[in-house]
């Protein structure tokens, strides 16, 4: 049984796994959870609402070498796009699944992304909750991709 947050990225048409790995809930993400649970502080009204992808997650000289996220990260290093979450599902009393979808028309005709993030919002402001980096993934206008982000509490 998994006990760490985990992401699986799949090609939508073939259902082939493109990448899978663990992500990091950043300090601000932990602050959001704590304040939400206690109903205090500036993050008490935040919930997970969006995800983003970017191309700042790897070594500048080699897009196949990810640079690990740090707990002090507050944003994607070089965002490409942000989108609302497609679906949130409670799997058990201690786990949830968030589904994210990159449609064929999302982004430019051809781009590479190397990082993804989950964002919490109060409807006005957006804060990074979790971040993952990975070797370069190519996305073009001929394919869609789906991300399954498993959260454990």
Determine the pLDDT at residue 4. Answer: 85
* Mean pLDDT to the nearest integer, 20-48: 96
> Is residue 2 pLDDT above 70, yes or no?
no
Q: What is the pLDDT of residue 1?
A: 54
Calpha distance 8→108 (Å, rounded): 23
Q: What is the mean pLDDT of the chain?
A: 95
Question: Measuring CA to CA, which residue among 138, 147, 123, 139 is closest to residue 23?
Answer: 147
State residue 34's pLDDT score.
95
For residue range 67-98, list pLDDT tens digits in order: 999 999 999 999 999 999 999 999 999 999 99
Sign of CA dihedral 11, 127, 151, 83: negative
Residue 153, pLDDT score: 86
């Amino acid at each position: 049984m998994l006990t760490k947050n985990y992401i699986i990225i799949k090609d939508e048409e073939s259902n082939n796994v493109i990448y899978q790995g663990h992500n990091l809930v950043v300090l601000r993400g932990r602050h959001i959870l704590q304040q939400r649970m206690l109903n205090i502080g500036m993050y008490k009204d935040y919930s997970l609402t969006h995800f983003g992808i970017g191309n700042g997650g790897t070594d500048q000289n080699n897009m196949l070498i990810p640079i690990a996220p740090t707990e002090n990260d507050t944003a994607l290093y070089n965002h490409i796009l942000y989108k609302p979450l497609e679906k949130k599902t409670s799997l058990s009393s201690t786990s949830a699944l968030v589904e994210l979808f990159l449609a064929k028309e999302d982004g430019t005709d051809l781009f590479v992304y190397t990082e993804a993030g989950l964002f919490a919002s109060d409807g006005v402001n957006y804060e990074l909750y979790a971040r993952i980096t990975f070797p370069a993934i190519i996305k073009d206008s001929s394919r869609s991709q789906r991300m399954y982000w498993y959260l454990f509490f």
